Structure 1
């Protein structure tokens, strides 16, 4: 745990823990906003570009996720060589350009390209945010800080879809690109003015093929880092499946119309609340027991919901669906922050590359798995819930490998 030389820290008072976590949370929230703000506009975008199949509209989200996930591999070595600040600034500029390009996209393909570019830029924020937290915190303290960051990340699904609906009420989907660009500009200004460089000069790694390959080898051959990363990727596939399918479930399966964003937000409230609870409980109960217990509970709830959905002919009554979904998503806030801390714990000396591998696997693999599950939408809940059950079981199996079968043990 180290802090860079004073000469690399911006002028002005040093960041308090509160502002540091708030800034990192804002960077992470920028990604969630770019995904969630377009959810209410998917039908409008499909109509604007005459996209026949409703499932193809999900590609607006998938294109962003692919750019966001894939580019993290590039940013990781760059952050370990040049520091956190310059890489973040470059990525934010790319993000802003992509958001603005979406406004003037003449075709659906061009829009997907702009979203891909936007995701490539946003990838820097994910890599840098995780590396920043790893630079300053370890163990339960890191999980606690990450939980607060994830709480803000989870608040975005509450705010962003409603912002998107508000923009659509006074204009069309083009305004969403402008809104995302303005958020990116705000993040860039705050980071330039206040963010310190947290990478110790002694920890900078030369940007050579051999040294980069060595760093990647360290990450992927470490059982704990690799297996916890795979577990996170599988679990995030659940989140991406839900995000991709949310509009169809609420508007087609349950016929809730444009007001579905309020129900979407209600689910997100409980996700954010569980992230906050995790930040308070991680040090008391241990990040292993919390994450593994919550994941097991999620899997059992998913299996029960699947059985009920089959019994009701494909979809449970809406009140029961909402209760089951809220209970399941209450488990969500206890899993990613703790698995992230466990994966990063042995990677302090290559935090940038480790953050990149973790983020790329989580987003790229999770995004692809989630997109595959979402694309199977058939008007019922069965494909989604079957995906939930399968992906949570895979995540739990990978954790068992990481722990050598010793589950629910105290943190060491």
Structure 2
């Protein structure tokens, strides 16, 4: 039996574990994180102009990097707090901080100050993100947990599909500040929907915030066989994915001179990743995590090598249609890998689900942001630096996953 029923609580919301409404609300809680990224990308040019930056200034990619860093570093406090006070309280607190960061970014007088508020904005997004993953782990285990994570991530990936287009629509009739206000308003709506979720953490399962208890939770996470290797695998994959998010607008604009196509391109790629999540949710229970991950890694290695070879053969500027085909294949495989590696790492962490989700997200996200920024700085107007990043990160991720599976046995 893989489904674990939540504890009975007074005034429990009507949504039940595993229902479409339950998954939809959790997806929206995680989607506000993506909304804070994907809607910003089309506004790069307007932000450059507003802050008197050079039209080709790459410093604006820091808006993504600082957001990711805040989001990643906020995961551990959010996880510890969710194990102490429950999942819903952390969701509401995080969404309040998210809204404050968005409003502060609107009012920021310079790019440096905006970076600070983007960090706060990302910090707030950590609460709903980690609490959502902990709720899934509270209620499910094994392949069923991986399936629920994939379904939640599938809805979550609709944001990149529509976010840039929505942002472009806002920019067509108003200023970039209204893109940020849109994110704040969306977070307020999600906070209202959270009232319908059940609290999945029983009172007797809550862990104190005393230093000894916190230390014991962290030791439980890191002492679990395979955790460190799963973390390394996730970090490598997140790092290059963050670089794709940050530089995709630059590639479309500077490499292909197709700036007006960016919302369509980014949305189309998001739909490809959505398809990967749906395929994963369909087959993970049939094939099992280990077998499906092995197949996904093989496909990933083939696709990233093809991308790099094509880049080197064309001087880093392959035909646009070929680039779209190859990057779609690469990211399809990435989205088959990330949720399943995360689920594999979470399987033995039921007693510390909040802390476990936080550690996995924080370490992979924070270090991944640094790796992503290092790749970003190599951008030379071609796709070659990103292609090399995919190959190196893919090799590290595969080797680490193999070691994790050996440790688990």
- TM-score tier by shorter-chain length is over 0.9
Aligned length: 406
Aligned counterpart in structure 2 of residue 322 of structure 1, from 314, 324, 332: 324
2:395 corresponding residue in structure 1: 393
Specify the alignment match of 1:99 in structure 2. Answer: 102
Higher alpha-carbon deviation: 270-279 or 11-20: 11-20
Q: Deviations over 1:134-165 (max 9, x none)?
A: 00111111111111111122221111111111
Q: Tell me the SS of whatever aligns to 2:36.
A: helix
Deviations 1:62-107 (A, max 9, x none): 1111100001111111111111111111111111111112221111
3-state SS, counterpart of residue 6 of structure 1:
coil
Counterpart check, 1:189 vs 2:173: no
2: CA distance, partners of 1:344 / 1:29: 21
1:11–1:351 Cα change, 3 Å: closer
1:229 and 2:226 are equivalent in the alignment: no
In structure 1, list runs of 5 or more residues that go unmatched. Answer: 407-411
Per-residue CA shift, 1:185-207, capped at 9, x if unaligned? 01100102x01110122211111
Q: Contact between 1:126 and 1:359, CA under 8 Å: does it hold in 2?
A: no
Where in structure 2 are there 5+ consecutive unaligned residues? none
8 Å Cα contact 1:3/1:199 also seen in 2: no
Structure 1 residues 11 and 221, CA gap change in structure 2 (3 angstroms): closer
Once structures 1 and 2 are overlaid, which stretch shifts more, 225-234 or 240-249? 225-234
Q: Are 1:34 and 2:20 counterparts?
A: no
The aligned runs of 1:10-89 (5 Å cut-off) are 10-12=12-14, 14=16, 17-52=19-54, 54-89=57-92
Measured in 1, the distance between the counterparts of 2:8 and 2:323 equals 54
- 1:111-130 per-residue CA deviation (whole Å, 9 max, x = no partner) reads 11111111111100111011
The 3 A distance-change label for structure 1 pair 313 and 145 is same
* Equivalent of 1:170 in 173, 181, 185: 173
CA deviation digits over 1:301-327, x for unaligned, max 9? 112211111111122111111111112
**1:100, 1:181 within 8 Å by CA — same for their partners in 2?**
yes
Question: Paired residue for 1:117, among 115, 120, 141?
Answer: 120
Distance 1:25 1:11 in 2: 17
User: TM (normalized to structure 1)?
Assistant: 0.95
SS at match of 1:156: helix
1:8 Cα deviation after fit: 5.0
Distance in structure 1 (CA, Å) of the matches to 2:17 and 2:212: 36
Pairing 1:12-411 to 2, within 5 Å after superposition: 12=14, 14=16, 17-52=19-54, 54-192=57-195, 194-404=196-406
Q: 1:8 to 1:300 in 2, by over 3 A?
A: farther
Separation in structure 1 between the aligned mates of residue 226 and residue 332 of structure 2, nearest angstrom: 26
Cα distance between partner residues in 1 of 2:210 and 2:365: 26
- Length-normalised TM-score, structure 2: 0.95
1:320–1:144: structure 2 CA closer, same or farther, 3 Å change rule? same
How many Å separate the matches in 1 of 2:156 and 2:381? 29
